[in-house]
Each structure stands twice: as C-alpha cells, then as structure tokens.
Amino acid sequence: MDGGGGGRTEMWAGIGMLAVCLLIGAVEGSGVLAAAPWPYFAGWLAVFVACLAALVAAAVRPTPSSARARLLLLAPPVLTASAVVLLSPNRGGMGLILLVVGAALCAMHGGLRGTAAAIAWNSAVLAAAALGLGPLVEQAARPSEALVSVVLYGLLQAGTGAMVWSHRRAAEALKALSAAHVELRGASALLAESSQARERLRISRELHDVLGHQLTALALELEIAVHRAEGPAREHVARARGLAKELLADVRSVVGSERHRSFDLHAALAAVLEGIPRPRTVLEADPGIDVDDERAAALVRAVQEIATNAIRHSGAGELRVRLTADGAGVRLEARDDGVGAARVVPGNGLRGLRERVAALGGTVELDGSDGFSVRAELPAREAVPT
C-alpha cells in the first residue's frame, strides 16, 4: 500500500514553515540593518542562521531516546530564537513566531514537561523584549501591553504545542496499530496455512486408509475373478481389473501430492505486508520457490519482524522485500530508506530472527549504513523421505 501521501504532506508543511522563517529573517533583518551598524547586523545574521539551522535539524531528526540527547537537540533552537527576538529593534515583532516554532518542536520531541518549560522560558523572553531590555529597543511597552502580549503568545504556544503533541500521539498510535496489524497478519497467514495443511493431511489419510484399501481389495478380487471367468465375461473382468488398478494409482498419486503440497509462501508474505500505511511496501519474489513448511514459516516470521521494525523505528517511506532461490537455497533481502543506524544493536525481535534462521542452518546479516537492511539465507529444502 502506498503510504507516501502523509510523507509528501509533511514535506510541504516543512517547506512552508521554512519559507515563513525566511520571511521573518528578511523582515527582522531589514529592521536591524536600519537601526544598527554593519558589525551588529552581521552578528544578528549569524544568530538567525544558527537559529534556522537548529530549527531545521530539530524538525527533521527523529526523537532521541535519552533525555540528555533530547535536551541537546531542543536547547539550540529555543535559545537562538530567544536571542533573535532580544536582538531585534521592535520588541520582537515577527521574530516571536520563532518562539512558537520552538515550543512546537519541544512538543514534538520533549513531551509535556519539556513543552511547559519552553513556554515558560519563551514567555520570560517575550516579557523582556516587550519591556525594552533588547539593545536596539528605543521605547518599552506599557506593563499592561506586555502582559497582554505574554498571555496571548503563551496561549498560542500552548495551543500549538497541544496540537503537535496530539499529532505525535496519533502518529505513535498509528505505528503501534500498524505493527500489531503486521503481527496479526503474519500469525493469521501461518495459522491458515497450518489449518490447510492439517486438512490436506486428514483428507489424504482418509483416501489412503478407506478408499485406497477398498480399491486394493477390489483389485485383488478382480484378479481372482479373471482366473475363474470364462468366455466373453473374462474380457470384461480383465478390463475392470485394469480400471481398478489405474484408479488405485490415481488415489495414491493424489495422496502423495496432498501430503507434500508446498506452502504458498508468496501469498503468505503478501498477506503480512498488505495494508501497511507507512512505509510503502514492495514485494518481489521469484516464481516457483519451493520450501518446506518450517523454512516457509521462518521466512514469514522474518518478514513480519522486518516490517514491524520499519514501522516502529526507521521513519522510512519505502520498504522493499525480495525473495530469490537457487540451487543452494533461498535468500531474503529487505531494505528500507529510513534513518538506519551507525551501530546495529539487535533487539529481542532481531535476535529471535537470527536464532530461528540459525536453527535451520542459515545466516542473517544486518546493515544500518544506508537505511536498514536485512539479508537472510536459508539452505535448500531437505528432501522428503519416501
């Protein structure tokens, strides 16, 4: 399923916000240039560029796992936005929007406490700017005007932060739901195949034990009748004996094919990947891949784990899964275009994948240098004893 619509919406929203920030820089920069000498403007411009870079970095990076890393990610945009506001000549002006953006980023990465702390800090900065503490402010606002400005922008920050926080919670819930969907589809595919295999085995046993034995007895009776029949009846009995033997051979053939019928691996993998909203999934499989049930189940579980990790951790827009086979065995290759990892530390799911594949004599390779990729190889299926 194509999950690129949400990604394109986020991209255009980010481009729009970047355009707004650049417009703020142009307006505020012209005011600074008109009120201060070139060295001051150069310093203000350096602070604004640093603020813009910090805002972009915080917007595009995934949320760090540790509190210290989140603080290091969010402190630069909040502090540099404060500096831009205080260094402007018009008690903040359009630069106050940067404070709102900083609070929204705190809601995206820092949770409720971090957002509340950022709003409190930004409110203090806004009050200081309104009261004329900036070096270029010529006239301070009246205390009542400053209070109204602080309250209004505080409410705006709180509303924006609540909206971003709600969106984040909804996105996390969608990820959890998608991961649960993948796990359920994988379990359903394996359960359906297991039920079908048991039903095929039951039918084959019934054919062998009931119909097969009766046809064998019929063939023996007709064999005896051939030797005792005389005249034209002998020819008809011999023909009936031949038909009984052919029917017995057909029954044995059906029993054998039902017992050794292959797992529909492509259908099971397609069922696991179907309906994932993001990332978009692409499945490629060589036709006619023949594996036993145990190897097929291991491959289904591997794809399930790979898809779940891509949903939860990668931030990817696309996941490609390819299954190939040759004389040596079956190869599963999966790669997403997400953030990857400088050092891959397998969790319980990936360790379980490795253990499951290793138990069948296969190997698993993990690589997080370019997105995240998994390569699993299983030896050829074992011959079915006759």
- Whether 282 and 270 have beta carbons less than 8 Å apart is answered as no
Q: Is the residue at 355 inside a domain?
A: yes
- pLDDT at 386 exceeding the cut of 50: no
Confidence at residue 48, expressed as pLDDT on a 0 to 100 scale? 92
Does 40 have pLDDT greater than 80?
A: yes
Query: ∠376-380-382 over CA atoms, to 5°?
Result: 130
Mean pLDDT value across the chain: 78
φ and ψ of 64, to 5 deg? -65, 155
Domain assignment present for residue 161? The answer is: no
Amino acid at 163: M
What pLDDT does residue 228 have? 66
| 336 and 310 Cβ atoms separated by less than 8 Å | yes
Choose the final residue of a domain: 222, 238, 259: 259
* Least confident window among 229-243, 248-262, 271-285: 248-262
Does the structure show a pLDDT above 80 at 10?
Answer: no
Domain's final residue, options 96, 116, 141: 141
Query: Same domain for 9 and 88?
Result: yes
Residue 216 shares a structural domain with residue 297: no
| Confidence band for 210, pLDDT divided at 50, 70 and 90 | low
Residue 232 confidence (pLDDT) above 90: no
Neighbours of 136 (CB within 10 A): 18
Measured distance CA(40)–CA(43) in Å, rounded: 5
**Confidence bin at 1 (pLDDT 50/70/90):** very low
Q: In the structure, what pLDDT confidence band is assigned to residue 384 with cuts at 50, 70 and 90?
A: very low
282 lies in a domain?
A: yes
Average pLDDT over residues 129-152: 79
**Paired strand residues for 319:** 281, 336
Do 67 and 36 belong together in one domain? yes
- With a cut of 80, say whether residue 363 has pLDDT above it: yes
pLDDT beyond 90 at 348: no
Question: What's residue 2's pLDDT?
Answer: 44
Residue 69 has pLDDT above 70, yes or no: yes
Could you tell me where the DSSP H helices lie in the chain? 4-35, 38-60, 67-87, 96-109, 111-130, 143-206, 213-228, 232-259, 265-273, 293-309, 348-359
Q: Within a domain: residue 137?
A: yes
Percent of the chain, pLDDT > 90? 7
27 and 137 together in one domain = yes
Q: Are residues 345 and 229 in the same domain?
A: no
By C-alpha distance, which of 286, 295, 305 is closest to 358?
295
Tokens of 126: 């806004």
Q: Are residues 235 and 128 in the same domain?
A: no
Same structural domain, 58 and 110: yes
Q: Which residue has the higher pLDDT, 259 or 128?
A: 128
Task: Count structural domains, the chain.
Answer: 3
Among 244, 259, 274, give the residue marking a domain's end. Answer: 259
Is residue 275 a part of any domain in this protein? yes
Q: What value, to the nearest 5°, has the Cα angle with vertex 383 and ends 382 and 386?
A: 145
What is the average pLDDT across 221-227? 66
Q: Indicate if 210 and 248 belong to the same structural domain.
A: yes
Residues 6+ apart with CB under 8 A from 365: 374, 375, 376
At residue 78, the pLDDT reads 92
**CA gap 242, 223 in Å, rounded:** 9
Range of the domain at 122: 4-141
Tokens read off for 324: 């190939």
- Report the alpha-carbon distance of residue 245 to residue 25 in Å, rounded: 92
> How many C-beta atoms lie closer than 10 Å to residue 60's C-beta?
11
Mean pLDDT calculated for residue range 174-189:
73
Confidence of residue 227 (pLDDT cuts 50, 70, 90): low
Question: Does residue 175 form part of some domain?
Answer: no
pLDDT of residue 76: 92
Q: Is residue 247 domain-shared with residue 281, that is, in the same domain?
A: no
Residue 20 lies in a domain: yes
**DSSP states along 149-211:** HHHHHHHHHHHHHHHHHHHHHHHHHHHHHHHHHHHHHHHHHHHHHHHHHHHHHHHHHHIIIII
Is there a single domain that holds both residue 301 and residue 232?
no
Q: Domain containing 309 — which CATH number?
A: 3.30.565.10
Contacts of 261 (CB under 8 A, 6+ apart): 197, 200
